[in-house]
Amino acid sequence: MPKLKAVQLSPEVNRALAENKAVVALESAIIAHGMPFPRNVETALALEDTVRENGAVPATIALLQGRLKAGLSPQEIAYLGKKGPAVHKVSKRDLPVLAAGGEDGATTVAATMIIAFMAGIEFFCTGGIGGVHRGGAQSMDFSADLEQLAQTPVLVVCSGAKSILDLGLTLEYLETKGVPVLGYQTRELPAFYTRKSGFKLEYCLHRPEEIAAVWAEKKAMALPGGVVVANPIPPESALDPDYMEQGIARALQKAAQLGLQGKEVTPFLLAQMGEITKGKSLEANIKLVLNNAKLAAQIAVASQTLT
């Protein structure tokens, strides 16, 4: 077996893992590609604070000068936030190339899961996972997040898949790959900015302790892949589903006219939704990811009592 590339841990994360404390991974794509500066930096720091307030240690993950890092300093978070889209958006395929070149990279869900697993971190908070793009049945445009969820044993707390995607096909893909999708206090897959999607979930759990128990059983069975915890955006922050769907349709049409493809599409669509909603989608994004950080920390802490 080849020796795995070491992940550089911050002192705080290194100490927490050594002492078997609860740790929650956070992605960095949201810093460089998900929000404008300085809201991106403010949100990243607020996410870390939320994880700490709920009893766990945050580990923001990124690629800096070719090094895999779990746990960034405030200065490193600010560096990514200021550079913004000039930083590479890193998925699984990009990791070895950018590491070999000594480059910086902001990690997507897939890349964050990989580095978290390498570091020994089991829990991960994000806004929304990637999935099957609309028209994916013809284009075969599937996010690498889906396959990584099928392979990597990390529990991911999210507000469902991004609403710009084909949510039905995304759910079907995860079912086919054997990835449990657990609704947190909901039987309907949330659609990122909204609590409703029209797609029912098989499982609804009501307490972090119940989710921690499912995770413990999955590990005990040595089943491959992760678990998705679908946590709806708080009701007071949710946007109107019909209004959002109309905006997404317009944004998708514009993306097609510009000939955007692959990983160019999602940041463009999110920016377009920000313009269409006059900033309301950005505020909703911040509220939902903070809510997810709280739940992820609670699950991680609850899991400590089961080990």
Domain ranges of the chain: 8-304
Q: Which residues pair with 156 in a beta bridge?
A: 124, 228
* pLDDT at residue 115, as a whole number: 98
Burial label for 268, CB within 10 Å (0-12, 13-18, 19+), is middle
Residue whose structure tokens are 């897939």: 110
Nearest to 217 by CA among 185, 182, 192, 245: 182
3-class SS at 246?
helix
pLDDT score recorded for residue 2: 57
Dist. CA 85–CA 65, nearest whole Å: 16
Q: How far apart are CA 45 and CA 66, in angstroms?
A: 23
Question: How far is 88 from 104, CA to CA, in rounded Å?
Answer: 7
Distance CA 269, CA 197 (A): 18
Distance between CA atoms of residues 24 and 298, nearest Å: 10
Neighbours of 85 (CB within 10 A): 12
275 phi and psi angles, rounded to 5 deg: -70, -45
pLDDT at 11: 97
- In order along its 307 residues, the chain shows pLDDT tens digits of 456 779 999 999 999 999 999 999 999 999 999 899 999 999 999 999 999 999 999 999 999 999 999 999 999 999 999 999 999 999 999 999 999 999 999 999 999 999 999 999 999 999 999 988 776 566 666 889 999 999 999 999 999 987 778 899 999 999 999 999 999 999 999 999 999 899 999 999 999 999 999 999 999 999 999 999 999 999 999 999 888 888 888 887 888 888 887 667 777 877 888 888 888 989 999 999 999 999 999 999 999 988 6
Going by C-beta distance under 8 Å and a sequence separation of 6 or more, which residues neighbour residue 144? 91, 92, 93, 108, 110, 130
214 phi and psi angles, rounded to 5 deg: -60, -45
Which DSSP state fits 299? H
What are the structure tokens assigned to 157, written together? 């707390």
Angle at 224 between CA 223 and CA 225, to 5 degrees: 125
pLDDT at residue 251 in the model: 85
CA dihedral defined by 183, 54, 162, 197, rounded to 10 degrees?
30
pLDDT for the residue 138: 61
Within a 10 A sphere around the Cβ of 67, how many other Cβ atoms? 14
Q: Name the CATH code of domain 8-304 (choices 1.10.10.10, 1.10.510.10, 3.40.1790.10, 1.10.420.10).
A: 3.40.1790.10
Torsion of CA 224, 170, 234, 242, to 10 degrees: 180
Q: What is the pLDDT of residues 124-162, one digit of tens each?
A: 999 999 988 776 566 666 889 999 999 999 999 999 987
pLDDT at 306: 87
pLDDT attached to residue 92 = 95
- Which amino acid is residue 1, in one-letter code? M
* DSSP H or E stretch at residue 81: helix 74-83
One-letter amino acid of 184: Y
If residue 89 lies in a helix (H) or strand (E), which one and from where to where? strand 88-90
The two tokens of residue 18 are 């050594």
Give phi and psi for 17, each to the nearest 5.
-65, -40
Active site residues: 27, 162
